[in-house]
Structure 1
Amino acid sequence: MFFHFRRVSTNRKLGPMPAVMASQATCPTTCALQGAGCYAEHGPGSIMWRALTAGRAANQVTFEQLLHLIRALPKKIRWRYGTAGDLPPNDGDSIDLARANGGREAIVFTHGRRYETYRKAGQLGMHINVSTDCAADADAVLDAAPDMSVVTVLPSSAARGRHFTPAGREIAVCPATYAERVTCSSCNLCCRPRPRGVIVGFPAHGSRKRMIDRRLAQA
């Protein structure tokens, strides 16, 4: 399990913020996007991700080294964990990451369903978003754990504005999708609990968006 730490991201949507990529060994086997539209498998960062997963990436770090790098970040900074990959599969490691974060504004997503671990991380000041693969899946997560912050995938054609799940829960499209001046470094939507539990929706994008659109049409 290796990680890649970039002090200042050059990704347009992220903006100039610290960013961490995790190897594929962190991904839950239950993630429906594996081999079925995962952007990290085919996107611009896929070469780096494959090298990191194989333990051959330049400047890769161990988990302990990553914790040291996170602790050394300025206290008032927003950063992104998991530009590819997921949280460490061990609950204790995820809690150690939350402790190292030290209350900073971290943007974290997970395809896992370890709700109690995410609650503990939140109590330590690291907010975690539960990723879902369609609006109905978002409803299922919130039925099981109403206190979770949830994000989901929308069809590539989804317009800006409000959308709704089958159960009537509100979905707001990620502001960076259509507003060029908005980046993760300038938006705080995903790094803290959202008013009224609004779900954040990310329209399918990248080279596999048609594959994702077909899967969403069947969901």
Structure 2
Amino acid sequence: MSRNAKTGPIPVTTTSANSCPPGCSLQRNGCYAERGPLALHWKAVSEGGRGSTFDELLLEISTLRRHALWRHNQAGDLTPSSPGVIDEALLTKLALANKGRRGFTYTHYPPTPVNRAAIRKANQLGFTVNLSAETLAQVDAYAEVGIAPVVVILPAGTTESIRTPEGRHVVVCPASLGNTDCLHCGICQQRDRAAIMGFPAHGSGAKHVQAVFFEERSS
């Protein structure tokens, strides 16, 4: 159960660092999970000192109360079958275990053709996988794919909604503004939403995250 004020008291999971895609621009470059108290927990999970097997995770998810909101991967990403490729079989098992619950996550895996199939299937099965974009141009590119809701990092201190180059509406995460928490918001679990959710950079790595945001990149 999370004790993070932004998340609120909902179940959360952590996956080892080797699950992160090799192309993520935030690795060792401002990733919030690499700093602070969460970093210590993530390190222990990554080194095998904490955690459970994937089958044990599936059992825990399947026994959550009906309609429970939970977040997969407060640190880490979807399990890969090879570098840069999401393991569709494992993600499907996760989505099936989530049936009747309101699980959600974010992924930095690019929506390549093979990853699109895995992400689309998970969302269709009721487990929400958000595509994590790093620039506004990338938001437009990811939204055009049409397989999943999209989120994006924002410059530190952003409090107002903004628009992408193609006019898509980016809404600042209410929990980031201190107005609520994930438990009482739940918008990131809504698979069919039109709004793009934006997360302002924060913490000691904020300057690095902002630098990534201002890069010109769409794919």
Structure 1 and Structure 2 fold alike (TM over 0.5): yes
* Identical counterparts, % of pairs: 37
Q: Compute the displacement of 1:103 (Å).
A: 3.2
3-state SS, counterpart of residue 213 of structure 1:
helix
Aligned residue in 2 for 1:151: 151
Q: Compute the displacement of 1:214 (Å).
A: 2.6
Q: What residue ranges of structure 2 are gaps of 5+ in the alignment?
A: 81-86
Q: Compute the displacement of 1:19 (Å).
A: 0.8
Aligned pair 1:82/2:73, yes or no?
Answer: yes
Aligned residue in 1 for 2:31: 38
**RMSD between aligned alpha carbons?**
1.4
Query: Cα deviation per residue 1:146-186 (whole Å; 9 max; x = unaligned)?
Result: 242000001003123x2111221110110111134x10011
Q: Compute the displacement of 1:50 (Å).
A: 1.0
Aligned residue in 2 for 1:184: 182
Counterpart pick for 1:94 among 70, 86, 91: 91
Is the 1:103–1:124 Cα contact (8 Å) retained in structure 2? no
Aligned partners of 1:207, 1:215: CA distance in 2, in Å? Answer: 15
Name the count of aligned residue pairs: 206
Q: What residue ranges of structure 1 are gaps of 5+ in the alignment?
A: 1-7
Counterpart pick for 1:71 among 62, 70, 90: 62
Aligned residue in 2 for 1:131: 132
Is the 1:18–1:80 Cα contact (8 Å) retained in structure 2? yes
Aligned partners of 2:167, 2:64: CA distance in 1, in Å? Answer: 40
Aligned partners of 1:44, 1:164: CA distance in 2, in Å? Answer: 33
Q: Compute the displacement of 1:218 (Å).
A: 3.6
Aligned residue in 1 for 2:122: 121
TM-score by length of 1: 0.89
Aligned residue in 1 for 2:164: 165
Is the 2:128–2:189 Cα contact (8 Å) retained in structure 1? yes
TM-score by length of 2: 0.89
3-state SS, counterpart of residue 214 of structure 2:
helix
Aligned partners of 1:155, 1:106: CA distance in 2, in Å? Answer: 27
Partner amino acid for 1:12?
A
Aligned residue in 1 for 2:84: none
Query: Cα deviation per residue 1:11-52 (whole Å; 9 max; x = unaligned)?
Result: 111111111111112111121111111111113200111111
Query: Cα deviation per residue 1:105-159 (whole Å; 9 max; x = unaligned)?
Result: 112111112121111112211111111111111112123x124200000100312
Q: Compute the displacement of 1:194 (Å).
A: 4.2
Partner amino acid for 1:172?
V
Aligned pair 1:201/2:198, yes or no?
Answer: yes
